[in-house]
């Protein structure tokens, strides 16, 4: 019984630890007049809300790359790769990236479009 | 004509147009496609009898039956010899298509007939894709020799590929939603620089996503139009770009 209790407490810690690491993060942006909310529920999946109507589920992974920039300095980039069911015919590009950090306050899409963490 | 000491796989030319090893390969493929079509139909019957949805099982069975027909059509084509070859092998490398599945004309045989070779890996879905192209060539729907094809021929080939396992994933990007200069890394913007770095490393630029096909009806002209790959277009030492694979097809 004592051992069982010990394991339960241990599991609780692990569970708490996981939920702390994978806190969902929400980013908001606007593309061609459409409000787009991207909710990363955990480290693998999330969903997008387009104009708060259409909910599009996705899986994702963050790809880490070291690349040369114009000044020939190596920079680390994090590119968000999405996997989406073909039923959702997207009419906006999904090209989120971050430079030098992961899960920051702003996700880049292109030079004029950003998604801001809420 | 049979002659002494000829290896078994080099004889028996009877005008049915797979020869030697390819004859066996084609027969095996035909048998596997037919068997799976039967299995899927049986599964659909079972689900239907319980009042459950059969999904796309019947369409998949239909495509697999068509794949068996593709092989029959190639066999019946008296003017062209059809072959299977490894897309990672020497022959593919010499043709500059290493690693890429393709159905192409590879010259003529001793009889003076055209030879069409289907280059694939060991993946059955991929084999069915190229087999469909072989079948299309034998029916005159495409021309593998001068590489004349169409989007609808590709839709059909992807449906054949999907039907084997019931799932398909591919890299896609809708060209109309992106700035081409940015995606190809050709301007001075931050996005463009990032994408140039990724392309030079052989990676996909940041806008490319993976599309999951889970139902045969999702394989449409727009899906095929949006399929992309990273490559230098066969230019030796050339820089990588994001290539829309079927951009030139109508």
Task: Pick out chain B residues at pLDDT < 50.
Answer: 1-15
Q: Which residue of A has its CA nearest to B219?
A: A86
CA-CA distances (angstroms) from residue B8 to B14, B62, B108? 14, 35, 22
**B78 and B17 Cβ atoms separated by less than 8 Å:** yes
The pLDDT, as a whole number, for residue A108 is: 86
Measured CA to CA, the distance from residue B162 to residue A46 in angstroms comes to 26
Measured CA to CA, the distance from residue B227 to residue B248 in angstroms comes to 12
Prediction ipTM score: 0.77
Distance to chain A for B168, nearest Cα, Å:
10
Q: Running DSSP on this structure, what letter comes out for residue B217?
A: G
Question: Which residue matches tokens 């010990």?
Answer: A6
Question: Which residue matches tokens 């994090």?
Answer: A78
Which H or E run includes A49? strand A45-50
Q: Which residue of B has its CA nearest to A81?
A: B209
With cut-offs at 50, 70 and 90, classify the pLDDT of residue A7: low
- Rounded to two decimals, what is the model's pTM? 0.85
pLDDT digits (tens, 9 = 90+) for A16-73: 444 445 678 899 998 888 899 999 999 999 999 999 888 999 999 999 988 876 566 7
Q: Which among A82, A87, A91 has the least Cβ separation from residue B209?
A: A82
Contacts of A63 in chain B (CB under 8 A): 203
Which H or E run includes B69? helix B57-76
A67 interfaces chain B, CB cutoff of 8 Å? yes
Provide DSSP, B172-206: E--GGGS-HHHHTT-SSSHHHHHHHHHHHTTPPPT
Q: Which among B177, B179, B198 has the least Cβ separation from residue A79?
A: B198
Closest CA to A96 of A112, A111, A79, A113: A79
Question: Which residue matches tokens 């690693």?
Answer: B99
Q: Which among A89, A93, A97 has the least Cβ separation from residue B194?
A: A97
Which chain B residues have any C-beta within 8 angstroms of a chain A C-beta? 169, 173-174, 176-179, 182, 188-191, 193-194, 197-198, 200-201, 203-215, 218-219, 222-223
Question: Which residue matches tokens 């040369």?
Answer: A68
pLDDT digits (tens, 9 = 90+) for B146-187: 999 999 999 999 999 999 999 999 999 999 888 899 999 999
């Amino acid at each position: 019984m004592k051992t069982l209790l010990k394991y339960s407490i241990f599991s609780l810690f692990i569970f708490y630890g996981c939920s702390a690491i994978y806190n969902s993060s929400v980013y908001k942006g606007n593309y061609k007049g459409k409000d787009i909310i991207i909710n990363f529920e955990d480290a693998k999946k999330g969903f997008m809300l387009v104009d708060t109507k259409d909910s599009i589920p996705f899986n994702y992974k963050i790809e880490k790359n070291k690349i040369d920039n114009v000044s020939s300095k190596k920079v680390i980039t994090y590119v968000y790769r999405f996997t989406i069911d073909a039923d959702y015919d997207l009419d906006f590009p999904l090209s989120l990236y971050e430079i030098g950090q992961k899960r920051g306050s702003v996700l880049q899409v292109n030079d004029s479009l950003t998604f801001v963490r809420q | 004509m049979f002659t002494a000491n000829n290896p078994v796989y080099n004889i028996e030319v009877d005008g049915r147009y797979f020869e030697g090893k390819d004859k066996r390969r084609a027969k095996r493929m035909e048998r596997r496609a037919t068997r799976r079509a039967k299995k899927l139909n049986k599964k659909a019957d079972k689900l239907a009898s319980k009042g459950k949805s059969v999904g796309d099982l019947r369409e998949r069975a239909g495509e697999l039956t068509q794949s068996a027909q593709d092989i029959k059509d190639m066999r019946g084509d008296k003017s062209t010899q059809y072959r299977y070859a490894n897309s990672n092998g020497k022959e593919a490398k010499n043709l500059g298509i290493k690693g890429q599945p393709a159905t192409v004309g590879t010259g003529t045989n001793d009889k003076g007939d055209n030879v069409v070779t289907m280059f694939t890996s060991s993946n059955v879905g991929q084999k069915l894709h190229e087999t469909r192209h072989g079948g299309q060539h034998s029916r005159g729907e495409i021309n593998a020799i001068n590489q004349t094809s169409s989007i609808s021929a590709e839709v059909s080939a992807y449906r054949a590929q999907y039907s084997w396992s019931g799932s398909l994933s591919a890299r896609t990007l809708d060209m109309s939603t992106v700035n081409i200069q940015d995606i190809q890394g050709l301007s001075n913007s931050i996005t463009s620089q990032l994408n140039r770095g990724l392309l030079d490393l052989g990676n996909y630029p940041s806008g490319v996503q993976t599309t999951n096909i889970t139902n045969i009806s999702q394989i449409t002209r727009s899906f095929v139009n949006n399929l992309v790959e990273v490559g230098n277009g066969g230019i030796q030492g050339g820089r990588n770009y994001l290539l829309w694979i079927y951009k030139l097809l109508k």
